[in-house]
Structures are given as C-alpha cells and as structure tokens.
C-alpha cells in the first residue's frame, strides 16, 4: 500500500473511531544501517527485518529497474508491530522537501514482517526512490502485488474471473486515471495486478516500469504504442479481456476473501533505548491509516 497525506489525515480519524483487535507492543528496539532504520519489539526481530529489508531492496531494484539502488538513497524507517491476527502494511513515501526518509508501518506476524508483507512495501519504496513523482497508482500496486501471498493473488483472480464470467469488465481508462487505490477497493487491485501480469507476457519488468512512467508523462495511448505495439487503451482493453478470459477460466476454483490492509503506527516504548534516529519525520507520532 501507498498513502497520501489526505489519506493519512482521514486515517487518523478512522483509527480513533474504529475498534481494532488489540496489538501489544512490549518494547521497541532499534537496528540501523545506511538504508533502513527498524523499530521493533525485540532486537532479534529488528535485526531480522533489517536484513530482510536490504535483501528485498536489492531484489526489487534488480528485478524491476535492472540495477541496484546506490547505498543510502531512499532511506526508510520501518515500524514493526507483531500481531497474529492482523496483516497490514503501509508506505508513506517522501512527498515533500521537509521529509528526508520514507516510512513503512507493518502490523503482522514475524514471518510476514520478514516476508511478503515487508516485500510489498519495499517494492513501493524502491519505486518511489527511483521515481519521486511516483508511478501511477495502478502500476505501483501492480508491481508490489507480485510479491503478495498466494491467498491475496487468488482473491484477485476470483474477481477477474467474475468479470470474465459476466462480461461486466471495468474500464481500464478509469483505473489508469486513479490517483490512488484505497485499501478496500479489491476490484481496482485486481485489475491493476491482472493488467500488470498481462503486460509482463509482452515485455520484461524494466520495460513495464518504463512504460508506466512514460504513460503518466506522455499519455497511455502513446506509451502503449511505444512499448507494446498496442494502438490505444481501447486496444489494450480488448487484448487484456481476451487474455484474462482465457487464463482465468483455469483458476476458477481459486480464491477466498480476506480483509486487506490499513495501518497503525507504533510509538517506541522505553524498554529499549533508541539512539537518535537521523532525520525522523515530525509525523512520527501520528497514528495513520490508508492504502
């Protein structure tokens, strides 16, 4: 997930109004290197997440940009709250000169904090570091979603299968124009993931990233012509629907629904000392919520 300031503000209200399962934070410990600062409830977790974050940062950059990010660009603070009941992640990328670090909040299990939930958010961070103006929301989520667990992927396929089965296809033009995709909009996530998957059958991952950046700048018809030899969004719509109708039939048995993500920030507790965290944004104590 990625979030805008407006969503953060609305989320602050939601956090107050919506009761959530209790998440106990017994402490906050600190691990740090040139790329990440990790706050977690024990030293081992913080160290593990730090190592996982660096591994994912390298992997995502190599896979989608074709080259690693230099050390320390896109420096990020990661807050981890352990929960066996929730699985939520949120990224707030640098969006003003007053902020020097990206932020990630995770409320999830120990495994997912070192696995799919972390990697989804790291994908947003890598892309936001390379493209500070941000990629279009659908492409950003399409890329990050490739690292999700299979049950989320199955849910999306179930939705696409319904479109194929009923013929009630959504307009790609409207999805491409969405400034953000809110966390409850499963159909938009599904379309983003499916169109991403389709275009990856026609070109490699760095090509997709370049297409997404170009489409935002020059328009989608032009970008489709330049990168995929498709005439227009209308042509993409037709080709995608045909492709999705074919492959989704075989996945009809898949899918079960689960609630997706929001966000909650955790404040460091005094149980572990936290040395001065360089460049921590002032918003650090805000609770927030969003996609």
- Whole-number minimum distance, CB 144 to Zn ion, in Å? 4
Q: Should residue 125 be labelled a site residue for Zn ion when binding is judged by CB under 5 A?
A: no
Nearer to Zn ion, 52 or 263 (CB): 263
Nearer to Zn ion, 29 or 193 (CB): 193
Q: Which of residues 135-164 bind Zn ion (CB under 5 A)?
A: 144
How far apart are the C-alpha atoms of 218 and 222, rounded to whole Å?
A: 6
- Whole-number minimum distance, CB 125 to Zn ion, in Å? 11
- Whole-number minimum distance, CB 50 to Zn ion, in Å? 21
- Whole-number minimum distance, CB 65 to Zn ion, in Å? 18
Tell me 63's DSSP state: I
- Whole-number minimum distance, CB 120 to Zn ion, in Å? 6
Burial of 220 (0-12, 13-18, 19+ CB in 10 A): buried
Q: Which of residues 235-274 bind Zn ion (CB under 5 A)?
A: none
Q: Name the residue with the smallest CB distance to Zn ion.
A: 1
Nearer to Zn ion, 154 or 245 (CB): 154
Q: What angle do CA 206, 249, 120 make, to 5 degrees?
A: 35
Residues 6+ apart with CB under 8 A from 276: none
Nearer to Zn ion, 75 or 121 (CB): 121
How far apart are the C-alpha atoms of 54 and 68, rounded to whole Å?
A: 11
How far apart are the C-alpha atoms of 124 and 138, rounded to whole Å?
A: 12
Over the window 81 to 120, marking each residue x when it contacts Zn ion by CB under 5 A and - when it does not, the resulting string is ----------------------------------------
Mapped onto helix, strand or coil, the DSSP state of residue 128 is: helix
Q: How many residues bind Zn ion (CB under 5 A)?
A: 2
Strand ranges (DSSP E) for the chain?
A: 29-32, 36-40, 76-82, 88-92, 102-108
Nearer to Zn ion, 1 or 223 (CB): 1
Nearer to Zn ion, 28 or 135 (CB): 135
Mapped onto helix, strand or coil, the DSSP state of residue 102 is: strand
- When binding is defined by CB under 5 A, the residue of 1, 40, 128, 192 that contacts Zn ion is 1
- Whole-number minimum distance, CB 141 to Zn ion, in Å? 5
Joined tokens for residue 15 = 């956090």
Nearer to Zn ion, 144 or 159 (CB): 144
Nearer to Zn ion, 200 or 234 (CB): 200
CA distances 58 to 4, 13, 100, Å, are 25, 36, 21
Helix axis angle, 205-218 relative to 220-228, nearest 10°? 150
How far apart are the C-alpha atoms of 201 and 209, rounded to whole Å?
A: 14
- Whole-number minimum distance, CB 29 to Zn ion, in Å? 26
- Whole-number minimum distance, CB 108 to Zn ion, in Å? 14
* Phi, psi dihedral angles at 232 (to 5 degrees): -165, 175
User: Applying CB under 5 A, which residues contact Zn ion?
Assistant: 1, 144
């Amino acid at each position: 997930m990625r979030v805008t300031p407006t969503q953060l503000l609305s989320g602050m209200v939601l956090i107050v109004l919506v009761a959530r399962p209790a998440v106990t934070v017994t402490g906050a410990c600190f691990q740090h290197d040139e790329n990440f600062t990790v706050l977690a409830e024990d030293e081992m977790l913080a160290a593990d997440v730090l190592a996982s974050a660096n591994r994912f940062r390298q992997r995502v950059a190599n896979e989608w940009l074709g080259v690693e990010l230099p050390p320390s660009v896109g420096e990020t603070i990661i807050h981890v709250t352990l929960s066996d009941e929730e699985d939520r992640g949120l990224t707030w990328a640098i969006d003003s000169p007053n902020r020097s670090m990206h932020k990630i909040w995770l409320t999830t299990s120990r495994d997912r904090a070192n696995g799919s939930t972390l990697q989804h958010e790291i994908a947003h961070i890598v892309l936001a570091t390379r493209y500070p103006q941000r990629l279009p929301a659908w492409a950003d989520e399409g890329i990050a979603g490739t690292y999700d667990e299979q049950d989320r992927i199955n849910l999306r396929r179930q939705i696409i299968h319904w479109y194929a089965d009923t013929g009630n296809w959504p307009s790609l033009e409207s999805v491409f124009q969405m400034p953000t995709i809110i966390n409850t909009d499963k159909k938009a996530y599904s379309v983003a993931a499916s169109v991403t998957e389709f275009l990856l059958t026609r070109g490699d991952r760095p090509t997709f990233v370049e297409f997404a950046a170009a489409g935002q700048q020059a328009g989608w018809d032009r970008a489709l012509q330049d990168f995929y030899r498709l005439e227009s969004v209308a042509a993409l719509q037709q080709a995608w629907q045909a492709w999705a109708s074919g492959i989704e039939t075989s996945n009809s048995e898949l899918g079960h629904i689960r609630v997706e993500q929001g966000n909650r920030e955790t404040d460091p507790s005094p149980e572990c000392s936290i040395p001065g965290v360089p460049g921590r944004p002032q918003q650090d104590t805000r609770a927030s919520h969003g996609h």
